[in-house]
Structure 1
Amino acid sequence: MASQTALEATYRALISRGRLSQDNGQAALVTRLAQLQTSLTQPKSELKASAPRGVYIYGSVGTGKSRIADLFAATLPSQISRRRIHFHEFMLDVHARLHKARSQSSFRGDPLIQIGMDVRTESQVLCFDEFQVTDIADAMILKRLFSAIWGTGGVLVSTSNRPPEKLYENGLNRDLFVPFIHQIKDRCEVWKMEGQDDYRTKNSDDPADRIDVLFLDPSKFKESLHKQLSGQELERLEIAVHGNRALSVSAIRPNGESGLVVSSTFEEMCHSYRGSADYVALCRQSKDIYISKLRKFAKDDLDVVRRFITLVDLAYESKVRIFCLSDAPLVEVFANIVRPADVPLQGQLPRQMTVRSEGGSSSSMMTTFIGETEWSATGLAEASLVTGGAGETDVRFAIGRAISRLYEMGFREYGIGD
């Protein structure tokens, strides 16, 4: 009998300890990723001329794609360099490198080729959470970037809400993006994650296993925040953001803990000048974020919706817990943007969070900054992400995923290491 890889052994240990439930779809993916681990650790003399094919994983919300990808990255042998990162954060890094390269008068040629080679030198394996393309600026650079990454032996393992052929669907100049789709299919096995149940909503029904996340009772919200503060007073802190900017928040740093406890209103957090770079910086520094005055979105609040979903995505990736004080049940918060019947969720949410339909998974929407100007997800100034272009086909998935992830944040074991 062949020996188990570290991934297989860890997965089975988590099942035996009750940290994961037996799931055929997850088990099949573990087997496939274990094969990739074996290929990556073979002596170079035994490897084929090219690097092993990666795995592009897509499927419904809450079926365990991200969890298994996390385990894959965490159990790779130390000699295999890897980078596990949300797609938002990766593209921010690429744009920062691109800006730096273009500002150097000595630079010649296509900077994306050198950037791709540098990324590969730093990490043999790239592991993305939620690979999605709704931004024309990203769509136009991915082929050249990944040509260099794959051409120098890089390997991609990625989760996504949709198959490659649905990426950047209805996006501007999509014909220029299609060659990158062919690259993905050539360099990665496209793996559909089987299963329809959202494990985030099927965990224990025991109230002792949960803490409240979406508070409809202001007294509970204040009580929880007061307990976190432990007598400390909130103060204004400046968090450094990429691009020589800073995000000002009201927060404390609990004694003996590294992460901030942040208290903010929804307007402060998701209105005005906010983008994914701000939320990346915030989530790197925080452990808990309290947001008061969450409200039902108006039809013209599309940019606000996008910011809120981006915040939830990046908090989830960083294992940061979000607490919300809302004037409406969570699903109803989005009712003016998409009909509750169109919100795609799998599994059965508890009674206080019921929806009237079911469906697939989601995407997070990127923000493009050109200079100090924030552009929409379609790449056109003042164009809405849900009135055409790639963003329109993704927004209903994004809402379902945000709800699912906020619900998972309500479990006591959320964010606790295995």
Structure 2
Amino acid sequence: MTPLVRPAPRAARDTAKRLLEEIALDAGRSGFALEESQRQAAGRLAALGAEVTVRRRTLSRKAPRSLYLHGPVGRGKTWLMDSFFDHLNARKRRVHFHDFFRKLHAGTHESSAGSSTAIQHSVDALLDGIDLLCFDEFHVHDVGDGMFIARLLRTAAERRIPLAVTSNYAPDDLLPNPLWHDHFLPTIAAIKEMMDVVKIDGSSDFRRFPATGSNGPLGFESFRAGQIITPGTPRQLGRLGLFTPSASQSRVLTPTTQPIVLKNSDPDVLWVGFEELCGGLTSTSDYLVLAETFTTWVIDDVPSPAEADAASAPAWQRFSNVVDVLHDLDITLFLIGRGPLDWDIKAEGNGLPVDLARIASRLSLLGRSHPEDDGAREEAAGS
């Protein structure tokens, strides 16, 4: 339950008003107006920013309430965080889920101390010297990552450092795997205790339907340059500058602990089969390491999500993690399958990830190549 808000001092009210006006102006410059749920979230962010700013000036030891923004994909959560973070005048740090855990795991592996001590050192480094931590794309699929999150929340509370979090999940839906969900219940309770939970649930998916007069969401230009290709004929691939590697080009890489057989030896392009990349024991850490080397990814033999049992549930979840990583790091992605490669379907009862809507929204940014496209081009060329 959201606590009652006591009247803020004038300095806090003025700062909150300024932040809210700046966010609204940013929306106007981007070609759209804030929806009602976005306005409410923007107002709560502005109030948090004002509390953080005034607290720093007055040296108050009372910590502001943390904020947890959640809702469906494409409703503007990250956009709101962008604007808020840009205009907030405070000691602040912003991290993304995948980047946070990549650094956390790296620090744990490289430290000579015990794992618990290494984790605490990484959390301490994340929180040192700031008044506010902004955490994007907060989600938990692994019980080990859940333990790290619990440590982060506990340490932030001890240091009286508030968090501003965006997520596609309500707190009760975090770590949805029924085998592990009960283990995360104490952390969910802590999130609901220390954070105000605000839902952003407007009717528009701004990733799919940019506001009239705008150029659409900015950023992710490299990711947007990718294509979903069905069925992947040589002519289709050739038009995109893609040529199926020969068997002699294959090589094996071990990004962390699991060897992965790549189909190519190009220094910039990773070409790999769906089953090889997602059907084994690879993890998000593997994808993050590979993304540091390869600026273009080609994943072929992608099964159709519409086919029952086309891939195992763990394989689809790993595929979801791959898309997350490549989208967030702005890596060009080509997906090749015999089709149909359509993720706008219900995820119930077919092994697909429960967060399929987020992946469908992200993949909607990619172009599509179909066999009929070739015929249309040839007809146009001959006319």
User: When the two structures are superposed, what TM-score results if normalisation uses the length of structure 1?
Assistant: 0.66
Q: What SS does the corresponding residue of 2:73 show, helix, strand or coil?
A: coil
Q: What SS does the corresponding residue of 2:364 show, helix, strand or coil?
A: helix
1:331 to 329, 335, 342: 342
Percent of aligned pairs with the same residue? 25
- Whether contact under 8 Å (2:38, 2:200) holds in the other structure is yes
- Whether contact under 8 Å (2:262, 2:271) holds in the other structure is no
Unpaired segments of 5 or more residues in structure 1? 228-234, 254-259, 335-339, 345-385, 412-418
Where do 1:12-51 residues align within 5 Å?
Answer: 12-18=25-31, 20-42=32-54, 44-46=56-58, 48-51=60-63
User: Which residue matches 1:279?
Assistant: 287
Larger Rg: 2
Task: Confirm or deny that 1:309 pairs with 2:324.
Answer: no
Structure 1 residue identity aligned to 2:95: R
User: Which residue matches 1:164?
Assistant: 171
The CA deviation at 1:317 is 1.4
Give distance in 2, aligned partners of 1:136 and 1:108.
15
Give distance in 2, aligned partners of 1:239 and 1:124.
41
User: Which residue matches 2:360?
Assistant: 403
Unpaired segments of 5 or more residues in structure 2? 1-12, 217-223, 244-248, 369-383
Give distance in 2, aligned partners of 1:281 and 1:111.
20
Task: Confirm or deny that 1:144 pairs with 2:157.
Answer: no
User: Which residue matches 1:294?
Assistant: 302
Q: What SS does the corresponding residue of 2:139 show, helix, strand or coil?
A: coil
User: Which residue matches 2:371?
Assistant: none
CA RMSD of aligned residues (A): 4.1
Give distance in 2, aligned partners of 1:84 and 1:275.
20
User: When the two structures are superposed, what TM-score results if normalisation uses the length of structure 2?
Assistant: 0.71
1:63 to 58, 75, 88: 75
Q: How big is each residue's C-alpha offset from its partner over 1:182-212, in whole Å with a ceiling of 9 and x where there is no partner?
A: 3212322111112133222223899x99977
2:203 to 196, 199, 212: 196
Q: How big is each residue's C-alpha offset from its partner over 1:139-163, in whole Å with a ceiling of 9 and x where there is no partner?
A: 3443334211221133222222332
Aligned pair in 2 of structure 1 residues 292, 172: CA closer, same or farther (>3 Å)? closer
The CA deviation at 1:407 is 0.4
Where do 1:63-212 residues align within 5 Å?
Answer: 63-77=75-89, 80-86=91-97, 88-101=98-111, 103-104=112-113, 112-121=119-128, 124-169=131-176, 171-172=178-179, 174=181, 176-203=183-210
Kindly tell me the number of residue pairs found equivalent between the two proteins. 337
User: Which residue matches 1:365?
Assistant: none
- Whether contact under 8 Å (1:65, 1:193) holds in the other structure is yes
The CA deviation at 1:100 is 4.7
Q: What SS does the corresponding residue of 1:73 show, helix, strand or coil?
A: helix
Q: What SS does the corresponding residue of 1:177 show, helix, strand or coil?
A: helix
Structure 1 residue identity aligned to 2:316: V
